[in-house]
Amino acid sequence: MPRVKTFLKLATAFLLAASLLPAQEQQPFKVMSTLDETAIAGRAVELDAQGKLLPWPMPQDTGYSYSGYFLSQWTIIWDQYNRQRLPYFFCCFDFDRSTYEMMPEWHWVNSTGYLRAMMQGFIERLYPYTGDPHTLEFLENFVDYELANGLTPENYAWAQVPYPSANPGARRYTGWSNHGEDFVEPHVVGEDGYAYLRLYEMTGNTKYLRAAIRCAEALVKNFKAGDAQNSPWPFRCAARTGKVEGGKGMSPYSANVVEPIMLFDELIRIGQGDVAAYKTVREGAWQWLQKYPLTNNVWVGYFEDVGPGMENMNQVIPLEFARYVLLHHDKDAQWREHAKQLIEWVKTTPKWPKYSIHGATITTEQGDGKQFCCNLPNQCCDSHTARLAAVEALYFAATGDVAYKEAAYRSYNWVTYFQGLPGGAHAPYTEQWWFTDEFSDGPRRMMDAFWAVPEWAPAEESHLLGSLSPVTKISYGAGSVTYSTFDADSTDVLRLDFAPTSVTAGGRALAPRQDLDQSGYMFDDTKKVLRIRHTDSRDIDVQGEGGNARPSYITFDDPHLAAGTPLVGQYPSGVIDWGKNEWQIGTPYGKFGTFTLALTDPKTQSAEFRFYSPSIFVGVDVYNGGDSDATITIHSPEDRGISFTLRSKELRRLRTNWLDSSSSVAFELKNGQSLRFDNLAYRHE
């Protein structure tokens, strides 16, 4: 994640670029500054009547804008999986601002263990939301690479656990040489081990269970009681010996024990491994956490590129702990007090600056009260602000305190401006876009928005939004959602585009209820939100009236073609024949953050394409970048024409509502010279 190479050495240099420092020496910064700028990540702000921030790119459509953030990041990751696979070997990249082609960053530590743990959290939410099996294909391959190329040797004190990092471009992971190679970060062993365990629960593949148990065994073996200066596990230590002393970059203290606790909790819950040992060590770590960080707020020791020290605090550890107790009330009798305490500490601590931007609270990630990370406001920290928003949204969901819902909404709105590849900004530093922050951590915490506040999800689509139990399979149909969870006992949250008439678990009907203290379901007909409690079966079937069959999408990022490539013949193969040079691939443009579909001749007044086999043309997203209204008329030989008018700078999702398959689709355009298209939707009968 975006940190500092040697924190105290480089932070000042970065901040000089931010114009927040005098020429030579940093002055104390404000804990909270108001910066009501006109652009975020180079994109013009959208405000409501009270001057408060609205989401991007559709200010009146929260579901489109929020989902656009994590779906655009996924399309880039999936494209990378099928091309260069930069996330395997680099922490971050820059991109050419004219072609939008990625260029790997060769100077910074590769965040191996962190990235996989965060990516697992993202995919655990993304797979049930989309039903796309490619998400699991990517995640399994990504984790398998680490298991084959990034584990410590068997005869080490920390044996067969993941290294936290690697040198940029390295094919094998053994740590970052700036800290001295061949070290581990125990809290990452817990974090990555938990990710392995959840992946086992998602897929049933026992190699991930074995990997998780090895992580837990190493944590048990190396546990110590700890004190104010020494945590139960060191922040960073030699992998072979477990020693901190004498090692470059080693440190005895990390407040991040909640990640190992989560691994122990889950293994204990499902009865795998040495449960008795896990309970003992888990209790010791919990008692240390209560006695020290929760009392003295020394939240130190998370990032893979930070050196030793007790002054450089961060917001990741306290907010992830708050998130944990908000989702697991049974683990902490004081969950409400602790969660609120940590939210407020993060928002008020003088260790790093925060910003109020049109009513949205933005947090940077770390600091020591004099120097901090990272870039200019409105150029970085979408993942960290998404984490704050997620915890506030979950706090609202657990307590009903609407002030936290409003705070989460405005901060999430700010995050949406970072979706895709915003050419007008750098995050977090010049020439560094992090795969952790922008493509896994931020998206997973944005997805918490829908779990906590389901009415923020798209209104005319069906999605499973959240579950404490991993989803193992799911399918969507017109008026139906059928899925299975790892656990028979779970509570699940969906937003539907239909009204359910039947909800069954294991083939047995669940009854509508006023609460979910026992098996049953609740449906809010106004918000179309369905909450299900099932206790006796993993297999859930929801059937109802109305609803639309889920379309397939062409995103023009899969497979990725260079900007300006003419579409001649089939693309993707077996789906559409684009004819001869009427269409081409376009760069991100206007309110589109990823690659687009453009007219080869912007002045043309008509263009068409043919389906390889007749399909229903559902619609397409269109942006009008011109200064005047544009009119689009869409027709096919089998369907009556339909017309739309887009205002200047308007983005709209056009839907035909056609029911019959089309052999071809034609566009008639007026003032269409600045139109761009994306997310072309179709389905087969």
Task: Specify if 639 maps to a domain.
Answer: yes
In the structure, what pLDDT confidence band is assigned to residue 54 with cuts at 50, 70 and 90? very high
State the CATH number of the domain containing residue 204: 1.50.10.20
Asked whether residue 596 carries a pLDDT value surpassing 70, the answer given is yes
Task: Specify if 627 maps to a domain.
Answer: yes
Element (H, E) at 480: strand 480-485
State the CATH number of the domain containing residue 507: 2.60.40.1180
The more confidently predicted of residues 79 and 306 is 79
Let me know whether 508 and 525 are in one domain.
Answer: yes
Chain segment 340-385, per-residue pLDDT in tens: 999 999 999 999 999 999 999 999 999 998 888 876 777 888 999 9
Asked whether residue 14 carries a pLDDT value surpassing 80, the answer given is no
Helix (H, G, I), strand (E, B) or coil at 106: coil
Task: Specify if 314 maps to a domain.
Answer: no
Task: Work out the widest C-alpha separation in the chain, in whole angstroms.
Answer: 77
Let me know whether 289 and 175 are in one domain.
Answer: yes
Let me know whether 558 and 529 are in one domain.
Answer: no
Whole-number percent of the chain with pLDDT over 90:
87
State the pLDDT at residue 372: 85
Chain segment 530-572, per-residue pLDDT in tens: 999 999 999 999 999 999 999 999 999 988 999 999 999 999 9
State the pLDDT at residue 427: 64
Helix (H, G, I), strand (E, B) or coil at 294: helix
Chain segment 156-209, per-residue pLDDT in tens: 999 999 999 999 999 999 999 999 889 999 999 999 999 999 999 999 999 999
Let me know whether 203 and 84 are in one domain.
Answer: no
State the CATH number of the domain containing residue 676: 2.60.120.1350
In the structure, what pLDDT confidence band is assigned to residue 511 with cuts at 50, 70 and 90? very high
Task: Report the mean per-residue pLDDT for the chain.
Answer: 93
Let me know whether 196 and 246 are in one domain.
Answer: yes
The pTM (predicted TM-score) of the whole model is: 0.95
State the pLDDT at residue 423: 84
Task: Specify if 337 maps to a domain.
Answer: no
Among 546, 569, 601, which residue terminates a domain?
A: 546
Domain that holds residue 669: 552-683
Let me know whether 271 and 389 are in one domain.
Answer: no
Among 281, 304, 327, which residue terminates a domain?
A: 304
CA distances from 678 to 131, 135, 433, 552, 651 (A): 20, 21, 23, 13, 10
State the pLDDT at residue 429: 64
Choice among 54-63, 289-298, 424-433, 512-521 with the minimum mean pLDDT: 424-433
Task: Specify if 402 maps to a domain.
Answer: yes
Please state the rounded mean pLDDT for residues 220-236: 97
Our count of domains for the chain comes to 4
Let me know whether 93 and 161 are in one domain.
Answer: no
Asked whether residue 22 carries a pLDDT value surpassing 50, the answer given is no
Let me know whether 390 and 523 are in one domain.
Answer: no
State the pLDDT at residue 47: 98
CA distances from 309 to 21, 128, 372 (A): 23, 41, 14
State the pLDDT at residue 143: 98
Task: Specify if 311 maps to a domain.
Answer: no
* Ramachandran quadrant class, 429 (left: phi over 0; alpha: psi -120 to 50; beta: rest): beta
Chain segment 515-538, per-residue pLDDT in tens: 999 999 999 999 999 999 999 999
* Ramachandran quadrant class, 619 (left: phi over 0; alpha: psi -120 to 50; beta: rest): left
Let me know whether 443 and 469 are in one domain.
Answer: no
Chain segment 66-108, per-residue pLDDT in tens: 999 999 999 999 999 999 999 999 999 999 999 999 999 998 9
Let me know whether 472 and 569 are in one domain.
Answer: no
* Assigned token pair, 79: 């494209």
Radius of gyration of the CA atoms of the chain, in A: 25
Let me know whether 178 and 193 are in one domain.
Answer: yes
d(CA 267, CA 262): 9
Helices 275-291 & 258-270 angle (0-180, nearest 10): 150
Asked whether residue 430 carries a pLDDT value surpassing 90, the answer given is no
Task: Specify if 310 maps to a domain.
Answer: no
Task: Specify if 330 maps to a domain.
Answer: no
Asked whether residue 57 carries a pLDDT value surpassing 90, the answer given is yes
Helix (H, G, I), strand (E, B) or coil at 358: coil
State the pLDDT at residue 246: 81
Please state the rounded mean pLDDT for residues 434-462: 97
DSSP secondary structure string for all residues of 555-585:
-S-TT---TT-EEEEESSTTTEEEEEEEEEE
Among 517, 546, 575, which residue terminates a domain?
A: 546
State the pLDDT at residue 308: 86
Asked whether residue 4 carries a pLDDT value surpassing 60, the answer given is no
In the structure, what pLDDT confidence band is assigned to residue 2 with cuts at 50, 70 and 90? very low
Let me know whether 192 and 298 are in one domain.
Answer: yes
Asked whether residue 155 carries a pLDDT value surpassing 90, the answer given is yes
State the pLDDT at residue 370: 87
In the structure, what pLDDT confidence band is assigned to residue 23 with cuts at 50, 70 and 90? very low
